């Protein structure tokens, strides 16, 4: 019998899982200055900048656990710039820049344009006559086979054909009919492992049938009105992690039963403007970022406010 100590094989270094990258905008200039959705009504100047900063930082910290974050500087006169999901839609290094429906947000377009230019993206414009509000209304299915595209309150159905031309992808229109859920990302979320969360009443009958034809019953996570109005569908989903505003215990349990790891971050100050976790971030192709020469950059620490 050998007396040689058994040599244990050195453990394999874990494969570096590629971390996704997101764009965020610090809330230094965030406020509710006007009313362009039902959540803002009665909330003009009612948000606390200090609380908003704390909540945004918690979101930033939760996100940087699982992703890299780039920052764009907030700009005077654009208090909604914190909702970077609405800057545009980026895929394969190309950005379809948003063409905002409301004049109140149109000044943001030039600021985001500069950031994407400096970061080396190819920018394609969507005409002013056919408003398009970026990732707020355009979400790829997690298998990448289709682009779900909302229309109605903000984005026009006529803008969708630009998206299918840019990426040669099937664009599936979903008609939003409840003014509280004015962007697709407020009422619908494709999730990993081909699940989807959605608030059915936000859609017309044929759009709902389209969603249900794609997701079999076992893959549907149906959100009730109390959770929908907590922006439960407005999630950042990275692998099994789901970052979102506070939701009910029942929904948390349901998500955990489907093996998701739920990370709640209270975002009450941003709900006053009609946005939550997913609205505060925009997904980017990692390949392009890090080349920016503007005030943005890759940050591993929470930035100063």
Ligand X SMILES: NC(=O)NCCC[C@H](N)C(=O)O
Of 39, 35, 30, the closest CA to residue 57 belongs to 30
Find the binder of ligand X among 98, 274, 281, 282 (CB under 6 A).
Answer: 274
Q: Among residues 111, 151, 160, 183, which one is catalytic?
A: 183
Q: Is 279 in the site for ligand X (CB under 6 A)?
A: yes
Cα torsion through 58, 94, 117, 79, rounded to 10: -40
Q: Is 269 in the site for ligand X (CB under 6 A)?
A: no
State the Cα–Cα distance between residues 200 and 65, nearest whole angstrom.
32
State the Cα–Cα distance between residues 13 and 187, nearest whole angstrom.
40
Q: Among residues 25, 187, 233, 279, which one is catalytic?
A: 279
Residues 186-225 within binding reach of ligand X (CB under 6 A): 186
Q: Is 55 in the site for ligand X (CB under 6 A)?
A: no
279 is catalytic: yes
Q: Is 80 in the site for ligand X (CB under 6 A)?
A: yes
Residues 1-40 within binding reach of ligand X (CB under 6 A): 36-37, 40
- In whole angstroms, the minimum distance from the beta carbon of 223 to ligand X comes to 15
The tokens describing 272, both together, are 């006053």
What is the sign of the dihedral through the CA atoms of 28, 150, 18 and 215?
Answer: positive
Binding residues for ligand X, total number by CB under 6 A = 16
Helix, strand or coil, per DSSP, at residue 253 = helix
- The number of angstroms, rounded, from the C-alpha of 177 to the middle of its chain's C-alpha atoms is 20
Q: Is 136 in the site for ligand X (CB under 6 A)?
A: yes
Which residues participate in catalysis according to the annotation? 183, 279
List residues binding ligand X (CB under 6 A).
36-37, 40, 80, 83, 85-86, 105, 136, 183, 185-186, 273-275, 279
């Amino acid at each position: 019998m050998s007396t040689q100590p058994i040599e244990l094989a050195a453990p394999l270094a874990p494969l570096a899982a590629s971390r996704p990258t997101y764009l965020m905008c610090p809330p230094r200039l965030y406020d509710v200055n006007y009313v362009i959705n039902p959540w803002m009504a009665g909330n003009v100047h009612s948000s606390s900048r200090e609380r908003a900063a704390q909540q945004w930082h918690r979101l930033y910290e939760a996100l940087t656990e699982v992703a890299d974050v780039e920052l764009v500087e907030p700009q005077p006169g654009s208090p909604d710039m914190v909702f970077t999901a609405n800057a545009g839609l980026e895929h394969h290094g190309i950005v379809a820049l948003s063409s905002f429906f409301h004049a109140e947000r149109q000044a943001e377009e030039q600021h985001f344009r500069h950031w994407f230019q400096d970061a080396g993206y190819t920018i394609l414009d969507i005409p002013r006559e056919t408003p398009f509000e970026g990732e707020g209304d355009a979400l790829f299915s997690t298998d990448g086979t289709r682009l779900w595209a909302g229309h109605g309150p903000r984005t026009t159905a006529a803008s969708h054909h630009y998206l299918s031309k840019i990426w040669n992808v099937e664009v599936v229109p979903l008609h939003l009919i409840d003014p509280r859920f004015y962007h697709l990302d407020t009422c619908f979320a494709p999730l990993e492992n081909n699940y989807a969360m959605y608030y059915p009443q936000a859609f017309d009958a044929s759009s709902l049938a389209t969603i249900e034809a794609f997701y079999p019953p076992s893959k549907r996570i149906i959100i009730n009105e109390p959770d929908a109005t907590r922006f439960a569908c407005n999630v950042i989903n990275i692998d099994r992690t789901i970052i979102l505003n506070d939701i009910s215990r029942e929904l948390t349990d349901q998500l955990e039963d489907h093996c998701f790891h739920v990370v709640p971050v209270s975002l009450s100050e941003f709900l006053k403007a009609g946005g939550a976790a997913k609205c505060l971030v925009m997904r980017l192709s990692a390949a392009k970022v890090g080349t920016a020469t503007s005030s943005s950059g890759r940050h591993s620490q929470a930035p100063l406010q």
